Amino acid sequence: MHVLPPSPLMILQEIVECNRNSGLDGTETSSDTLLHQEASQDMFQVQLNCEIENKVTCDKVLGEFKKVTRYITSTFIFNTPIKVNVSYYDFCTVYPANLCGDLSGAAYPSQFYALQDDDGLTRLYPQSLVKQFQFPNAPKYNEFDINAEFNSKSNFWFEQDSININPDQEDIYWTICHELIHGLGFYNSWMGFQTKSIALIPTPALINPDGSVPKSNLLNTNSSFVEFMMDKYTILLSNGTQISAFTRQLNTFFNDHKSSVFSDEFIKSPQFKFAQDLLVLATTPNSLGLLPRNSKNFLSDSFILETSIPTFEQGSSLIHVDFKTYINTNDFLMTYRSVDGNNAERMILNGGNYSGGLIGPRLKLIMETFGYATTENPNPYKPLPFKPPEVASKKNEKNDHNANTGYIYPIISSIKTTHRWDVRSKLISGF
């Protein structure tokens, strides 16, 4: 896996700054607002492990992070600081040679916590949001909420250089913002079943007795399926059904069988049909979307997810919004491809010059739906703390003894050699 060079340059972000640089609304700021902004910047802290020799570039990367964190803290209201651990290094030292050149960044929540949703299901929430809920008995948190990495070999454009972006360059500000939104929980983990993806399943995950789910507990082959926060709002655009209905059905497999889901028994079970249906949905254009809370019309209100890639691509399909629908709109940020030669400013202009910046109105609404507070929605939805499920832990114990590990290795190796958690590929030369 990822091996750090001997002396990574460690930089801790300076977090006290008063100047707002986003130019989002152009309004004058009173001294009260400035105080608020200064405090809000404490709410997003970045540690950059810059593993390249060029100190000037490291400073530029840090500068772009400052801009993004200033922007995100001007969009959402955080009550508890969020800490990001960022590595900037040559991806070809870690990723396969045929892939590393196309990757620019990746980010994921460092740890999840199982919380009880108001529909009775337990789902995995990212640490950054769980902290904001301020539960009386807070679990023990990781030092960092988000892990992120950026490819030093990407041809990034930095606004600070004050030169025009080239057709083959990617605006790092845009990429950082995209990745941090994943880190804040725009994240799921649907995975192809077997190397050739003959079906689609949620990730089996082991929930620790305190409700924590470190990354190493994901893809626990002896566990049942667990959804992520984002899955609660994922619906079929044909009829509005929650995708959770499929997860519920799939999990009935564990009522009838003691084996791992990666066993022949699963393929032969009646539940497998649901996993096959999910694969069809995930590879059929405009079939799944995110429905914001209090929506009146699921067709017009849904944020359409990326299901137009003909074969399911973990890290691209479903974890992004539909490229074709949104790349030319004010909600282009969470499409799976970036567009070289277009910086964030030009993308915003192209999308209609939205005053809120990179985080478009649909994305903002869905982040509010997840539970992030904003000025317009200061009291968002809050799930209940985790209750240790006695039945579920017994089931896990049983499964531990009966696991059939026959399919573990093909699946894991497939994930490692193709896509890890989030992958952004490039669309060269604009549109």
Enumerate binding residues for Zn ion (CB under 5 A): 422
Within its chain, how far is the Cα of 348 from the centroid? Answer: 21
Nearer to Zn ion among residue 227 and residue 422 (C-beta): 422
How many CB atoms neighbour CB 35 within 10 A?
12
* Residues near 127 by beta carbon (within 8 Å), at least 6 away in sequence: 109, 110, 111, 112, 113, 141, 142, 145
* Residues near 6 by beta carbon (within 8 Å), at least 6 away in sequence: none
Nearer to Zn ion among residue 189 and residue 222 (C-beta): 189
Query: At closest approach, how far in Å is the CB of 240 from Zn ion?
Result: 26
Nearer to Zn ion among residue 172 and residue 261 (C-beta): 172
Query: At closest approach, how far in Å is the CB of 210 from Zn ion?
Result: 30
Query: At closest approach, how far in Å is the CB of 326 from Zn ion?
Result: 13
Nearer to Zn ion among residue 128 and residue 222 (C-beta): 128
Burial class for 173, CB neighbours closer than 10 Å (0-12, 13-18, 19+): buried
CA distance 18 to 35: 8
Nearer to Zn ion among residue 199 and residue 290 (C-beta): 290
By beta carbon distance, the residue nearest Zn ion is 422
Nearer to Zn ion among residue 176 and residue 403 (C-beta): 176
Strand partners, 294: none
Nearer to Zn ion among residue 331 and residue 422 (C-beta): 422
Query: At closest approach, how far in Å is the CB of 178 from Zn ion?
Result: 6
Q: What angle do CA 336, 338, 343 make, to 5 degrees?
A: 145
CA distance 407 to 389: 27
Cβ atoms of residues 105 and 179 within 8 Å: yes
Query: At closest approach, how far in Å is the CB of 7 from Zn ion?
Result: 31
Nearer to Zn ion among residue 284 and residue 425 (C-beta): 425
Q: For 94-135, give the DSSP string.
A: TS-HHHHTT--EEEEESEEEEEE-TTS-EEEEEHHHHHHH--
Cβ atoms of residues 233 and 222 within 8 Å: no
Query: At closest approach, how far in Å is the CB of 372 from Zn ion?
Result: 18
Q: What is the gyration radius of the CA atoms in the chain, in angstroms?
A: 21
Query: At closest approach, how far in Å is the CB of 424 from Zn ion?
Result: 5
* Residues near 294 by beta carbon (within 8 Å), at least 6 away in sequence: none
Query: At closest approach, how far in Å is the CB of 393 from Zn ion?
Result: 33
The DSSP output letter for 290 is: E
Query: At closest approach, how far in Å is the CB of 181 from Zn ion?
Result: 8
CA distance 199 to 194: 8
Nearer to Zn ion among residue 232 and residue 320 (C-beta): 320
* Residues near 331 by beta carbon (within 8 Å), at least 6 away in sequence: 303, 321, 351, 360, 361, 362, 363
